[in-house]
Amino acid sequence: MSTMVTPITRPSLLLVLLVVATLTEISSAWSIWPYKHIHVINGLTKSVLHVHCRSENDDRGYNDVAVGAEFTWRFKPHVFWTTKWTCEVSTDDQRRAIFDAYKEDADEQSREHKNNTYWVVKEDGVYLRHIEDNKDQYSTNWQ
């Protein structure tokens, strides 16, 4: 006696997609994936830092950050690992830098400390802060 395997039909495929979409929404509401926090710190010596950060689905607007202060926000990563946040920072004297503040990939865990990622903007560029050893790793030049 042989068994027949039935091919996936269009209604079955639609049902699978509906379940995946529902689980995505539930995971956001129930915190299956924790919030991620991004910090952009003004490490300049005497200039206000202008910060504009955005993802494909969200825009944090334009923010002025005083010397020694930080701009921070939180978000939940997309269930399919496609979240990317890009920040543009600039100063009144026309220096400008663009960097990926968050991008889901294999390296992301090495950048985070308890779901927090810290970026420090200094006189010579943008640095990624490693909290564990209190060191800043050079990342991006001013343009």
Residue 7 has pLDDT above 70, yes or no: no
Q: How many domains would you assign to the chain? A: 1
Residue 8 lies in a domain: no
Residue 109 has pLDDT above 60, yes or no: no
In this predicted structure, what is the pLDDT of residue 137? 93
Per DSSP, helices labelled H in the chain are 10-30, 108-111
Contact 71, 52 (CB under 8 A): no
Helix (H, G, I), strand (E, B) or coil at 79: coil
Share of the chain above pLDDT 90, in %: 55
- What is the mean pLDDT of the segment spanning 56-63? 95
A 10 A CB-CB count for 126 gives 22
Contact 128, 111 (CB under 8 A): yes
In this predicted structure, what is the pLDDT of residue 52? 98
- Whole domain around residue 43: which residue ranges? 34-140
In this predicted structure, what is the pLDDT of residue 121? 98
Burial class (CB in 10 A: 0-12, 13-18, 19+), 22: exposed
A 10 A CB-CB count for 135 gives 10
Residue 14 lies in a domain: no
pTM score, two decimals? Answer: 0.74
Could you tell me the pLDDT band of residue 110, with boundaries at 50, 70 and 90?
low
Distance CA 140, CA 128 (A): 9
Residue 119 lies in a domain: yes
Residue 12 has pLDDT above 90, yes or no: no
What CATH number does the domain containing 86 carry? 2.60.40.2890
Residue 23 lies in a domain: no
